[in-house]
A = this chain, B = another copy of it.
């Protein structure tokens, strides 16, 4: 009851929550992370630091059209529907997945560049 954000039907809604900025800072090994940046990065990393969510991300990404509905994912990962739904929400809240509702189905797809942003921060540019 009383969800803050009202989503007008037809609008591709971004799940009513914090997009938890994936982009943040210079590569880890370049300069010491500020406490704030570390906190933000950790939120996103926590989102992908789970076997189930990693597989969900992978399953979605590896699709032909780059999207999948919950019903497609529930069986491959071997978890209950509520659990899968919960994980997808976590990933969407972290800004890694986008959600689009079409009819009865909810289609999830990668947010372009999100995973690459994380990769960029982790890459040790010059340091051996």
Residues of A within 8 A of B (CB): 28-33, 35, 38-39, 41-42, 45-46, 48-52, 54-55, 57-59, 61-62, 66, 76, 110, 112, 115-116, 118-120, 122-124, 127-128
Contacts and interface: CB of A to CB of B under 8 A. Distances in A.
Contact of A29 (B31, B49, B58, B123): B58
Contacts of A35: 51, 55
Contacts of A58: 28-29, 31-33, 38
A124 B111 CA distance: 11
B123 A116 contact: yes
Q: How many copies does the complex hold?
A: 2
Contact of A62 (B31, B66, B118): B31
Nearest to A37: B54
Contacts of A28: 54, 57-58, 61, 115
A29 to B, nearest CB: 4
A49 B51 contact: no
A61 B33 CA distance: 11
Contacts of A110: 29, 124, 127
A76 to B, nearest CB: 7
